[in-house]
Chain A
């Protein structure tokens, strides 16, 4: 989830406020697939990823592309607008009630010595690692991946060498959205969701990416781990409803002292 966001940001320096809301659509898609077509979300996540890739590309080509050069405030507002539209369309279409996807896998637990491991979460974690690795390989070992990274580092340089920057941006955005689509599907059995969840997810993504560092893949991954550990610890020591307090406070601290995060590049 955070990996997708950092990709979008790192490549285009556009902050995607709609991230969380895209993820919620991913969740709903998985839900539909599960209830209508009986497809298990652990399989359908591929479809969700593809669908959101498409959405991402559309959003990028149609909207974001026009304002890549515009002042940052404009980009923020644009994505905010998209977020509003997505979130409330979901509200209109699916209603405000929380939904949850059932999966046979969700019921299993393994006994690992003294611990009970929730299989669902384990699988999610495993897939996340696999996807992250795949993304890493893509970015560092393939031609297109290298182009994406080059464009991130130097927009004009990429233009000079004749790269089709628009296509690269569209792809990057699409992949970012795809990550989120996959994440949405994978998480849908674990987390009850409603349209309003979009905001919380966006904030969490930002939290993670800021902590780990914008523009750094490794950072996003490590950031994700850190934040979830922190939140879990927070939930243990404080009242669960206050754990958000913890992550927001952490966000403020990080913003103040290391906005570049642990591994990342600074927003110009």
Chain B
């Protein structure tokens, strides 16, 4: 039953570009892209319960790496894996330091923020990687360079990414690692007493999460054709990444996706609406209010809430 619904939904999404306008397609690209990032974050922040407010760093590293490699003639199709690997490397470092030294909760958040900010500052100040101006990618429109003239290509790639991340999360949920992670989120010491190597599990979650996020960096770079240190390493992006799974439902499979479907159009609409009047940042106020509301009233997120509603409706 569930599989049928899922297949149906995917079929619909596949068919959409045939009927949508150019602008709508752009919105969907964003929805999928952020859902992908949300899902990647979810693996560490949702399932394992280790909140990270510095995930933008992985996007930045992934993007910058493939952009710089592209300048030297390496195709981004290869570059993206190198970028993701480097991002995973940073993730491993942060994870090692954080978990080895027993940093939990707030302290871990600070650690991630510190690293992300350091990356941003370095990127802004080192001329070799573009400095404060950032990097620009020469437009060739060549698919071999991960560039497409038709936005629908980006649509399908973004959709594929989202499905990939969701697939990884789904796989994780059923296997031992995923089950361990949900328990680690509840009580680490009790897990240790039951024979779970919590350090290894958390490291795995961290590396997978940062690798996937790193891949997104390349997509971002070659869709926007530019990388600004503030935009791609900064806290605002980290907030965008973490807010969707939190509002949608951290630690659930569809929560991040739902979160993106709710928030991304909302953000776009308010950017359009308020941005015209010169009122920037309105959508962030909405984010903030939603975050507060969710924490107070729906701590598990929108998706579990909806699920319960549907169940009660069916009963």
Contacts and interface: CB of A to CB of B under 8 A. Distances in A.
Contacts of A70: 295, 299
A72 B291 contact: no
Nearest to A259: B107
A96 interface: yes
B23 interface: no
Contacts of B113: 203
B10 interface: no
Contacts of A87: 281, 284, 288
Given A66-B296, A70-B299, A92-B281, A239 B291 contact: no
A210 interface: yes
B282 A92 contact: yes
Contact of B51 (A73, A95, A257): A73
A252 B111 contact: yes
Interface string B264-290: 000000000010001111101101111
B293 to A, nearest CB: 8
A77 B97 contact: no
Nearest to B285: A88
A2 interface: no
Contacts of A259: 101, 103, 107
Given A91-B281, A241-B124, A256-B101, A85 B288 contact: yes
Given A67-B296, A78-B296, A255-B107, A96 B285 contact: no
A83 B295 contact: no
A167 to B, nearest CB: 21
The majority secondary structure among interface residues of chain A is: helix
Contact of B280 (A15, A86, A96): A96
B109 interface: yes
Given A74-B295, A241-B124, A92 B103 contact: no
A76 B109 contact: yes
Interface in B105-131: 105-107, 109-111, 113-115, 117-118, 121-122, 124-125
Interface string B211-248: 00000000000000000000000010001000000100
A128 interface: no
Interface residues of B, number: 43
A234 to B, nearest CB: 12
A242 interface: yes
B255 interface: no
B49 interface: yes
Contacts of A199: 235
Interface residues of A, number: 44
Interface string A230-268: 000000000101101100110110011101000000010
B9 interface: no
B24 interface: no
B106 A78 contact: no
Contacts of B121: 241-242, 244-245, 248
Contacts of A95: 278
B106 A72 contact: yes
Contacts of B289: 81, 85
B170 to A, nearest CB: 23
Residue of B101, B292, B296 with most chain A CB atoms under a 10 A cut-off: B292
Contacts of A89: 285
A63 B87 CA distance: 37
B124 to A, nearest CB: 7
A32 to B, nearest CB: 19
A45 interface: no
B288 A81 contact: yes
A206 interface: yes
A84 interface: yes
Given A81-B291, A84-B287, A74 B299 contact: yes
Given A81-B290, A203-B113, A252-B111, 5 more contacts: A67-B295, A76-B105, A81-B288, A92-B282, A251-B110
17 contacts: A15-B106, A70-B299, A73-B49, A74-B299, A78-B291, A78-B292, A81-B287, A84-B291, A87-B288, A88-B285, A91-B284, A199-B235, A210-B110, A244-B121, A245-B118, A249-B114, A255-B101
Interface of A: 15, 63, 66-67, 70, 72-74, 76-78, 80-89, 91-92, 95-96, 195, 199, 203, 206, 210, 239, 241-242, 244-245, 248-249, 251-252, 255-257, 259, 267
Interface of B: 49, 51, 53, 97, 101, 103-107, 109-111, 113-115, 117-118, 121-122, 124-125, 235, 239, 246, 274, 278-282, 284-285, 287-292, 294-296, 299
